[in-house]
Amino acid sequence: MIEPQSLTKWKVRHAILVWIGIVLNLGFVLPLLICPSWLLALFGVPDDPSLWPRFAGLLLGILSVFYIPATIDIDRYRLIAWLAVFPSRTFGAVFFTLAVLVFGQPAGYLAGVALDASIGAATLYCLIRIVRLEAKIAQGGTP
């Protein structure tokens, strides 16, 4: 028989390790966004431009996998559904919009903006409708 205290300890240990990983990852986020060449040079990594789109594609694939649970059971994974809109879709659209309009990046990046913004807006609308209908049902009304 598993003791509840042992299970709780392992859950806490897991949470602590995940948070340590998050904090360590964040140590790379700002340098990679603000001064990527400096960070790469710090670690002796060549600034190979073909590697970064591959890595971004890998991360996009991994991120997309995390959207799946909310499609299977939106009640259980409601937070995941909201996180798919804020920050995921929203920040992607804002990042590339700024990259093109403010920092002079190629307009081709706006294709990603169109995708993220349209899917983000549509799923946001659905989530808002779901929340409103649930509120009506909870108040005893009909949807």
Task: Tell me what pLDDT residue 5 has.
Answer: 84
In the three-class reduction of DSSP (H, G, I as helix; E, B as strand; rest coil), residue 132 is classed as helix
Task: Tell me what pLDDT residue 143 has.
Answer: 63
Confidence of residue 2 (pLDDT cuts 50, 70, 90): low
Mean pLDDT of 27-31: 92
In the three-class reduction of DSSP (H, G, I as helix; E, B as strand; rest coil), residue 57 is classed as helix
Task: Tell me what pLDDT residue 1 has.
Answer: 64
Instruction: Indicate the range of 28-32, 96-100, 138-142 predicted with least confidence.
Output: 138-142
Peptide bond into 31 cis (omega under 30): no
> What would the pLDDT profile of 72-87 be if each residue is shown by its tens digit?
999 999 999 999 999 9
Q: Where are the domains of the chain?
A: 1-47, 48-143
Q: 112: closest CA among 100, 123, 124, 103?
A: 100
Task: Tell me what pLDDT residue 53 has.
Answer: 86
Q: How far is CA 86 from CA 90, 91, 123, 137, in A?
A: 6, 7, 11, 26
What percent of the chain is modeled with pLDDT above 70?
A: 97
Task: Tell me what pLDDT residue 3 has.
Answer: 78
Mean pLDDT of 126-132: 96
